[in-house]
Amino acid sequence: MTATRKKSGRCLCGAVHFSVEDAPQSIGVCHCAMCRRWSSGPFFALHCKGAVTFDGEQYVERYKSSEWAERGFCRVCGTNLFYRIVDSGEYIVSVGALDDQDGFVLDSEIFVDEQPPFYAFANETTKMTGAEVFAMFAPAGDGDGGGDPA
C-alpha cells in the first residue's frame, strides 16, 4: 500500500493556498496537447483521493475544459493549480504548486501517443495512450477527445 501524508501548496503570488489530505507518493505525467498547452510542458499530476481545501478560493478561476472536467488557476498570477473531474469531485493538483516536492515517485504517463519527440523521461513508468485513458476514465459515450482525465 502506498504511504500517504498531508501536503500543502500555493500559487506563485501567494493569493491561493491549498492543502491535500492523504497525498499519495505516486505522481503521473500527462502528455496530452491540452495539458502541454496549459502548462507549457507535460503536466506533473498528483491524483488526490482525500480532501483538497483552498484558502483564497475567491482568487481561483475555473475553466471547463471538457464535458467532465475543469482546470483551476490563480486569477492573479496565472499559476496552474489543478485539474478536477466534475462528477466525482476528484482533484488532480499540479505537483509544481506543492511547497514540498520531496518523496514523490513518478510512476505513470498518459497520452504517450501525443508526447512530442523532443523529450523523454528515464523513469520506468506505466504508459497509456489517449485511447486507453479514454476507455478507462471517460464517461460512457464521450470519447470525443475534447479533454483528458489527468
Which residues contact residue 89 at a Cβ distance below 8 angstroms, ignoring those fewer than 6 apart?
none
Residue 61 CA to residue 81 CA, distance in Å, equals: 10
Query: Which of 72, 124, 95 lies closest to 8, judged by CA?
Result: 95
Q: Is residue 14 part of a domain?
A: yes
How many structural domains comprise the chain? 1
Asked if residues 77 and 94 have their Cβ atoms less than 8 Å apart, the reply is: no
Read off the pLDDT of residues 79-134 as tens digits, 9 standing for 90 and up. Answer: 999 999 999 999 999 999 999 999 999 999 999 999 999 999 999 999 999 999 98
Q: Is residue 150 part of a domain?
A: no
Q: Is residue 80 part of a domain?
A: yes
Residue 60 CA to residue 37 CA, distance in Å, equals: 19
**pLDDT for res 4:** 61
Q: Is residue 147 part of a domain?
A: no
Kindly report the CATH number assigned to the domain that includes residue 29: 2.170.150.70
Residue 147 reports pLDDT greater than 90: no
Residue 145 reports pLDDT greater than 50: no
Q: Is residue 149 part of a domain?
A: no
Residue 6 reports pLDDT greater than 50: yes
Q: Is residue 145 part of a domain?
A: no
**pLDDT for res 5:** 87
Instruction: Compute the radius of gyration of the chain from its Cα atoms.
Output: 15
Asked if residues 35 and 130 have their Cβ atoms less than 8 Å apart, the reply is: no
* HEC profile of the chain: CCCEEEEEEECCCCCCEEEEEEEECEEEEECCHHHHHHHCCCEEEEEECCCEEEECHHHEEEEECCCCEEEEEECCCCCEEEEEECCCCCEEEEHHHECCCCCCEEEEEECHHHCCCCCCCCCCCEEECHHHHHHHHCCCCCCCCCCCCC
Domain of residue 125: give its range.
4-137
Q: What is the pTM of this model?
A: 0.86
Q: Is residue 23 part of a domain?
A: yes
Q: Is residue 69 part of a domain?
A: yes
Read off the pLDDT of residues 32-76 as tens digits, 9 standing for 90 and up. Answer: 999 999 999 999 999 998 899 999 999 999 999 998 899 999 999
**pLDDT for res 143:** 43
